[in-house]
Amino acid sequence: MKFQKYKYAILAAIAVIIIVLDQITKFVIIQRFHLGESIRVLPEFFNLTYIRNTGAAFGLLATAPPAFRGPFFVIVPIVALFAIAYIFRKIPKEDIKLSIALSLVIGGAIGNLIDRMTLGYVVDFFDFHWRYTHHFPAFNIADSAICVGVGILTLDLLFEGKDINTHATRSL
């Protein structure tokens, strides 16, 4: 299969899959859980917990004034999506890794943006912890897609982009 013929189809497929899975899981959580309710899945390690994140990743800026948070958390992702779309257009058509990575980031960003625009917060529910004392910040499928996409980009830069200038030229 020649990837270059399908670059944008792959972008659309991955982004749509992420968005749909993200929104369905959040809908199920909202419908079946009360805010703060938790179901133990793996004792002492993992729960499903309905959390409303009014901040950024890991709850950053959650205590900022709502007049700042509202516009900030809508405008910044939209600008970032345009920047990522521009970069996506510039990557070589045969670079499957970078195309997949950016598609994951785009899908995740849109998934969380939908929440911010419709609910005013992001629904998080994956709750990992160690014996209920040390909690990792709750997250969702969109957050996971963004982290995996950024991880792929980072690994690509570290292990294949030995010369940052060569990598930048190859990627843009």
| Residue boundaries of the structural domains of the chain | 3-171
| CA 28 remoteness from chain centre | 19
Question: What is the overall mean pLDDT for the chain?
Answer: 87
pLDDT, residue 61, reads: 76
**pLDDT given for residue 146 in this prediction:** 95
Q: What is the pLDDT of residue 171?
A: 52
- Residues in the chain predicted with pLDDT less than 70, given as ranges, are 1-5, 58, 161-172
Q: Which residues are catalytically annotated? A: 124, 143
Q: According to DSSP H, which parts of 3-140 are helical? A: 7-32, 66-90, 96-118
Q: What is the pLDDT of residue 164?
A: 46
pLDDT of residue 91: 87
**Phi–psi pair at 47, nearest 5 degrees:** -130, 160
Hey, how many other C-beta atoms are within 10 angstroms of the C-beta on 5?
9
